[in-house]
Amino acid sequence: MPRRFLSALVCAVALGVGASAQAVDCSGRQSAGYRVLTLDNGRKVAVWYPAAVAEKPASPARAGKGFASSVAFDAPPAACPRVPLVLFSHGWGGCALQSTFVTEELARHGYVVAAPDHADAACAIGSSEMNFGNLRVDKSFFEPETWNDRSEIGRLNDLRAVIRRVAGDAQLARIADTSRVGAVGHSLGGYAVLGMAGAWPAWRTPEVKAVVAFSPYVLPFIAHGTLAQIAVPVMYQGAELDWILTPSLEGPRGAYALTPPPRYYVRLAGGTHLEWTNLTCADTSGVAACLQARANAALIDRYAIEFLDRYLKGKPGAVLDAPGRGVSAYRFELP
């Protein structure tokens, strides 16, 4: 074989390898794929992920008033290197689809996101019906001192089952790194993911490496003094007009002060306890329009994504080190 031809062949192969490597680089913005899995207990799990094909508009989300998803239904995953799995645990009486402006957007930023309908879900994946008969809780929210590590343990079981289910799925296992898990939760979902971080030591789940808690129910952990047992970075988010749970995050006896660093606290300007649900996006046409029109929705995503990028992907983020533009309060402490 002539030396000149051999050199050209080697260069062509090298260029081809470089092009292939570039093709599977999922560091840029992705299409959001969507599919539904089923757990052994029959509960449905909504899964968003970087997809290999373009998105298409979907039916309006439960927020109503025209708000709709844009996803690639049942599309094959993008040919990415494996990316972190993020669990999403909905609030009491919410459901897996309650915060699509968060879950969809995480997938577009290179995460596999899996959200189960818990036992108390009033709405449900694949249904337009509301079932308020599911609104039960193990113990009274007004008696946090009576809670213990058996309280709402069904949520822990669901979330751990989701990790196993994603790891066992032939397509998702090729893209989801289930040893590198972020956990995001709203309200009672925040309670569940903080428990997995070690706030209930018996719930500690080693795969969980970072937690984002949206207006979480933390009073049982404060009552029992267990927040000091948290072993991973935590971001708390609250809101000025959330008089239900945000006050328990603040002050010298609040959850932020009692949580070991690295810890972060974001308080949104205005906003109620439902700021982290699709109600924030009402009267907008979809996630992109919502993030453009609703400042708090954009801030919720920006802070959560940069936090997860830092602690699950090792990517620096300027927002986390800035003084907190657009929010009413921002603080953080590193070890």
Please give the share of the chain, as a percent, with pLDDT higher than 70. Answer: 87
Question: By three-state DSSP, how is residue 34 classified?
Answer: strand
Band of pLDDT at residue 13, cut at 50, 70 and 90: very low
Say if CB 251 and CB 173 are below 8 A apart. Answer: no
Note whether residue 173 is domain-resident. yes
Tell me which amino acid residue 20 is.
S
Note whether residue 168 is domain-resident. yes
Residues in CB range of 331: below 8 A, 6 or more apart: 256, 264, 265, 324
- Sequence-distant contacts of 145-153: CB under 8 A, at least 24 apart: 145/220, 145/223, 145/224, 147/219, 147/220, 147/223, 147/224, 148/220, 148/224, 149/195, 149/200, 149/201, 149/202, 149/203, 151/220, 152/188, 152/191, 152/192, 153/203
**43-98, pLDDT tens digit by residue?**
999 999 999 998 988 765 554 455 778 899 999 999 988 999 999 999 998 899 99
In the predicted model, what is the mean pLDDT of residues 311-330?
93
Report phi then psi at 15, rounded to 5: -65, -40
Note whether residue 87 is domain-resident. yes
Please give the share of the chain, as a percent, with pLDDT higher than 90. Answer: 75
> What do you get for the CA distance between the two ends of the chain, in Å?
61
The span from the CA of 207 to the CA of 179, in Å, is 5
- Total number of domains in the chain: 1
| Alpha-carbon distance values, 67 to 89, 96, 124, 262 (Å) | 21, 16, 17, 36
The span from the CA of 63 to the CA of 77, in Å, is 27
The span from the CA of 103 to the CA of 46, in Å, is 10
136: tokens are 């039960």
Q: Quote the pTM value.
A: 0.89
In the predicted model, what is the mean pLDDT of residues 302-310?
98
Say if CB 214 and CB 184 are below 8 A apart. Answer: yes
Question: By three-state DSSP, how is residue 26 classified?
Answer: coil
Note whether residue 295 is domain-resident. yes
Note whether residue 100 is domain-resident. yes
If you average pLDDT over every residue of the chain, what do you get?
89
Angle between helices 295-308 and 100-108 (to 10 degrees): 50
Strands 112-116 and 83-89: parallel
CA angle 182, 188, 194 (to 5 degrees): 40
Question: By three-state DSSP, how is residue 101 classified?
Answer: helix
pLDDT for the residue numbered 124: 78
Note whether residue 104 is domain-resident. yes
Q: What range does the domain containing 131 cover?
A: 30-333
Say if CB 110 and CB 203 are below 8 A apart. Answer: no
Note whether residue 3 is domain-resident. no
Lowest mean pLDDT: which of 6-20, 262-276, 288-302?
A: 6-20
320: tokens are 């986390």
Alpha-helical segments (H) within the chain: 3-23, 100-108, 153-167, 188-194, 219-224, 255-258, 287-293, 295-308, 318-321
| CATH number of the domain within which 110 lies | 3.40.50.1820
150: tokens are 């058996």
Please determine, for residue 131, whether its predicted confidence score (pLDDT) is greater than 70.
no
- What secondary structure does DSSP assign to 48-62, as a single string? EEEESS--EEEEEPT
Note whether residue 12 is domain-resident. no
pLDDT for the residue numbered 22: 38
Classify residue 153 as exposed, middle or buried by CB count within 10 Å of its CB (0-12, 13-18, 19+).
middle
Please determine, for residue 208, whether its predicted confidence score (pLDDT) is greater than 90.
yes
Band of pLDDT at residue 266, cut at 50, 70 and 90: very high
